[in-house]
C-alpha cells in the first residue's frame, strides 16, 4: 500500500476497532470477516469518503457505470413517488464522484404498457444496474428475467417479487406492516365488529397487497376471531369508481366500523367519507403521508397512516448498487424499512 492509503486504512481500523488486515480484506472482498464487522467497516469507509486504490484505478480507467431507476411517475393526484425520487437523486449526487450516474425513467401506474415500453428502452441500451419498482407483476417478472440473462443486477424498491433473484429488496416488511394495521384497527371495533379491506390498484396481483392483507387478517384472526372482514378490489382507481363501490357496500352494511386501504390511495376513500351522510364515520387506516392523505389526516377523516420512509428507500437502493459495483462486496438480500405510525398530532414533524 502507498503511505497515504495506509494512513486511511489505519484510521478506518482505529474507528472500527479491528486490525488493518481486516479492513484490507473487506476492501478487497477476500472474505474471512463477519457480516457485522464488514458492515461496520463499509459504513466507516463511506463516512470518511475513503477511496482506496481499487477505486482510483477504476476512475483512472475512465470506466463509468450507468444506473437506471425505473419508478412510477408522481402526479398531482398521487405524489408518493416524489419521495423515493428525492432519495435517488441524493444518492446520485454522492456516487457521481465514483464514476456512476443515475438515469431516471418513469411509467404510469394506471398504464402497464408505459412500463413495458420503458423496459424495452432499458434493454436496448443495457445499464450496469437497475432500481425497479415492480408494480406490474408479470411485466416486472419478464423484465427481471431479461436483466438476469443480460447480467444486469437489479434492486426492488417498495414492492417485492420474492421468488426472483434480485440483488436486494429495499422496502417495508409487508406482513408485519399489515399486522400492525390490524392492531390499530382494534381501537375502532365494537363487539364482533365489521371491517372492510380496500385494494385500489391497476394490478392487484401484486405481492405487496396480498401480503399486507395477510398480515392484517392474521392479527384479527388471532385477537378478534368474531370480527367480520370484507374486501373490495378495484382495478379502476378513479374517484367515481371508488365512491360507487363504497356507496353500494355501505348501503348493505351501514354498521361498518373500519376501512383499511392497503396503499397510498387512502385519500380517495377519505374524500368519499367526507362527502357522505353516514351517521357515524368508520375509522380509516391507510398508507403514506402523501399530500392529499395529509390533508384528510389533519381533517380527522383519516385516523392513522402507516409509512416506510420512502425517501430513504430511494437512497438505499442506489447505494446498494454502488456497493455492489464499486466495492464489489455483498449486499443485503433484504433491507426492511422501519414501520412508522403517523397521526394528526405527529404528522407535521414526520420526515418522509
**In terms of CATH architecture, what is 3-58?**
Orthogonal Bundle (1.10)
> How confident is the model over 164-174, as pLDDT tens digits?
999 999 999 99
SS3 call for 181: helix
More confident: 39 or 106: 106
Contact indicator for 158, 310 with CB cutoff of 8 Å: yes
Q: Where in the chain is the domain with CATH 3.40.50.2300?
A: 64-171+309-337, 174-307
Q: Which three cell numbers stand for residue 212?
A: 399486507
pLDDT at 5 over 80: no
Question: Percentage of the chain surpassing pLDDT 70?
Answer: 93
Residues of the chain with CATH 1.10.260.40: 3-58
Q: Are 198 and 209 in contact (CB under 8 A)?
A: no
Residue 23 and residue 8: Cα distance in Å, rounded? 10
Kindly provide the residue ranges of all beta strands, DSSP E only, lying in 94-212, ordered along the sequence. Answer: 100-107, 129-132, 154-157, 168-171, 194-200
* Contact (CB, 8 A) for 164 and 142: no
Which residue has better confidence, 20 or 153? 153
Q: In this structure, how many other beta carbons lie within 10 angstroms of the beta carbon of residue 163?
A: 7
In the structure, what pLDDT confidence band is assigned to residue 221 with cuts at 50, 70 and 90?
very high
| pLDDT of 42 above 90 | no
| Residue 60 in this model has a pLDDT that exceeds 60 | no
Q: Which of 263, 252, 260, 299 is nearest to 282 (CA)?
A: 260
State how far the Cα of 10 lies from the Cα of 162, in Å rounded to an integer.
40
Fold of 64-171+309-337: Rossmann fold (3.40.50)
- CATH homologous superfamily of domain 174-307? Response regulator (3.40.50.2300)
Q: What is residue 203's predicted lDDT score, i.e. its pLDDT?
A: 77
Per the model's pLDDT, the better-predicted residue between 33 and 72 turns out to be 72
Tell me if residue 85 falls in helix, strand or coil: helix
pLDDT per position as a tens digit, 175-216: 999 999 999 998 888 777 899 999 998 776 778 889 999 999
The residue among 256, 260, 251, 143 whose CA lies nearest residue 209 is 260
Model confidence pLDDT, tens digit, residues 285-336: 999 999 999 999 999 999 999 999 999 999 999 999 988 887 777 899 999 9
Residues 76-106: tens digit of each pLDDT:
888 999 999 999 999 999 888 777 899 999 9
Q: Which helix (H) or strand (E) holds 68?
A: strand 65-72
Is the whole-model pTM more than 0.85? no
pLDDT above 50 (res 3): no
Contacts of 120 (CB under 8 A, 6+ apart): none
Distance, in Å, from the CA atom of 293 to the CA atom of 79, rounded to the nearest integer, reads 10
Mean pLDDT of the chain: 89
Amino acid at each position: 500500500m502507498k503511505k497515504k492509503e495506509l494512513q486511511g486504512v489505519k484510521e478506518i481500523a482505529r474507528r472500527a476497532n479491528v486490525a488493518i488486515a481486516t479492513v484490507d480484506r473487506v476492501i478487497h472482498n477476500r472474505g474471512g470477516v463477519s457480516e457485522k464487522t464488514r458492515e461496520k467497516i463499509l459504513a466507516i469507509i463511506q463516512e470518511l469518503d475513503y477511496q482506496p486504490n481499487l477505486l482510483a484505478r477504476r476512475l483512472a480507467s475512465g470506466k463509468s457505470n450507468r444506473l437506471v431507476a425505473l419508478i412510477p411517475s408522481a402526479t398531482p393526484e398521487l405524489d408518493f413517488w416524489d419521495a423515493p425520487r428525492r432519495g435517488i437523486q441524493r444518492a446520485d449526487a454522492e456516487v457521481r464522484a465514483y464514476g456512476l450516474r443515475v438515469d431516471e425513467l418513469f411509467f404510469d401506474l394506471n398504464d402497464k404498457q408505459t412500463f413495458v415500453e420503458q423496459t424495452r428502452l432499458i434493454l436496448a441500451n443495457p445499464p450496469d444496474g437497475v432500481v425497479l419498482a415492480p408494480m406490474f407483476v408479470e411485466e416486472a417478472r419478464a423484465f427481471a428475467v431479461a436483466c438476469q440473462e443480460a447480467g444486469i443486477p437489479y434492486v426492488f424498491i417498495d414492492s417485492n417479487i420474492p421468488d426472483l433473484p434480485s440483488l436486494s429488496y429495499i422496502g417495508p416488511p409487508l406482513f408485519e406492516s399489515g399486522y400492525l394495521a390490524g392492531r390499530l384497527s382494534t381501537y375502532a371495533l365494537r363487539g364482533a365488529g365489521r371491517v372492510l379491506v380496500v385494494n385500489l390498484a391497476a394490478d392487484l396481483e401484486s405481492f405487496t397487497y396480498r401480503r399486507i392483507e395477510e398480515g392484517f387478517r392474521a392479527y384479527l384472526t388471532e385477537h378478534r376471531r368474531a370480527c367480520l372482514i370484507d374486501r373490495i378490489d378495484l382495478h379502476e382507481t378513479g374517484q367515481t369508481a371508488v365512491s360507487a363501490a363504497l356507496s353500494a357496500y355501505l348501503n348493505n352494511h351501514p354498521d361498518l366500523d373500519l376501512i383499511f386501504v392497503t396503499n397510498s390511495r387512502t385519500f380517495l376513500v377519505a374524500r368519499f367519507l367526507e362527502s357522505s351522510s353516514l351517521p357515524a364515520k368508520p375509522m380509516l387506516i391507510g398508507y403514506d403521508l402523501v399530500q392529499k392523505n395529509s390533508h384528510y389526516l389533519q381533517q380527522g377523516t383519516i385516523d392513522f397512516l402507516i409509512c416506510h420512509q420512502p425517501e430513504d428507500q430511494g437512497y438505499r437502493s442506489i447505494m446498494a448498487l454502488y456497493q455492489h459495483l464499486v466495492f464489489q462486496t455483498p449486499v443485503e438480500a433484504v433491507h426492511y424499512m422501519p414501520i412508522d405510525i403517523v397521526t394528526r398530532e405527529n404528522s407535521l414533524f414526520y420526515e418522509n
